[in-house]
Amino acid sequence: MKTAQVEAIQADIARLAVDAIVNGYPIERAVRIAVREVRSFLGLPGTLRRVIFACFGAGMLEAYELELSCA
């Protein structure tokens, strides 16, 4: 996968987290989408080596912990 494609995906995932906080987008839905998209790229050659989910507050952290535990 080309670097520009990976960067675009990273930007989209980051935007979901910001939208959840700033624009009232449902946190649980944003987290579900972010985790799903990251998982879809894990294991593809030349894509993600490390993933860091930046959590804006305890509610978002809890949502990520719940979503990631459902694997």
User: What pLDDT, on a 0 to 100 scale, did the predictor assign at position 69?
Assistant: 92
Give the mean model confidence (pLDDT) for residues 36-44: 80
Contact 56, 21 (CB under 8 A): yes
What confidence category does residue 56 fall into, taking pLDDT thresholds of 50, 70 and 90?
confident
User: What pLDDT, on a 0 to 100 scale, did the predictor assign at position 7?
Assistant: 59
What are the percentages of helix, strand and coil residues in the chain, rounded to 5? 65, 0, 35
Over the chain, what is the mean pLDDT? 76
Give the mean model confidence (pLDDT) for residues 20-47: 80
